[in-house]
Amino acid sequence: MNLDNCPRCGKLFAKNFKDVCPVCLREIDKEYQLCADYLREFKGAIITELSDQTGVSIKQITKFIREGRISMVNAPNMSYPCESCGTLIRENHICDTCRKRLEKDRNQMFEDLAKQRERQESQSAATVYKGLDRYKDK
């Protein structure tokens, strides 16, 4: 039996398929129901309005969206924060600006690694030639 502490309340529980204890799971389901009911009534709600009116955190609402429990199709004004910068987005985990920045950083890293490899290869080749030159002189 796997035992773990609930990340929400800290209580010890027998971990099965969910990462939270049964009590917190029921609370999460109640929070979802509050959000779903509110969105049925106010389809044009934005995430901050939904959070304010239901008392459910934006982080939890974002989890509902990512899990597919809250559909973005039925909530045309709904968006959630980018995981990197917090800009409101409607799809993926990060915004286009952060994605481009990460791609640029990744490409720069690969270029730096290639340059470093070239330097190491040229240094090792120079060392071999110096060693050969020493033996020629003897």
Residues 55-78: pLDDT tens digits? 999 999 999 999 999 988 878 889
What 3-state class would DSSP assign to 12?
A: strand
Query: What is the model's pLDDT at position 129?
Result: 58
Parallel, antiparallel, or unpaired for β 12-14 and 88-89?
unpaired
pTM score? 0.71
CA–CA separation, 71 and 125 (whole Å): 60
Residue 102 has pLDDT above 80, yes or no: yes
CA–CA separation, 96 and 60 (whole Å): 23
Enumerate the domain spans of the chain.
1-81, 95-138
- The region of weakest confidence among 3-17, 28-42, 49-63 is 3-17
Average pLDDT over residues 116-120: 89
Residue 113 has pLDDT above 80, yes or no: yes
User: Which of 91, 79, 93, 92 has the alpha carbon at shortest distance from 44?
Assistant: 79
What 3-state class would DSSP assign to 13?
A: strand
Share of the chain above pLDDT 90, in %: 60
- Whether the CB-CB separation of 35 and 61 falls below 8 Å is answered with yes
Radius of gyration of the chain (CA): 27
Query: What is the model's pLDDT at position 138?
Result: 55
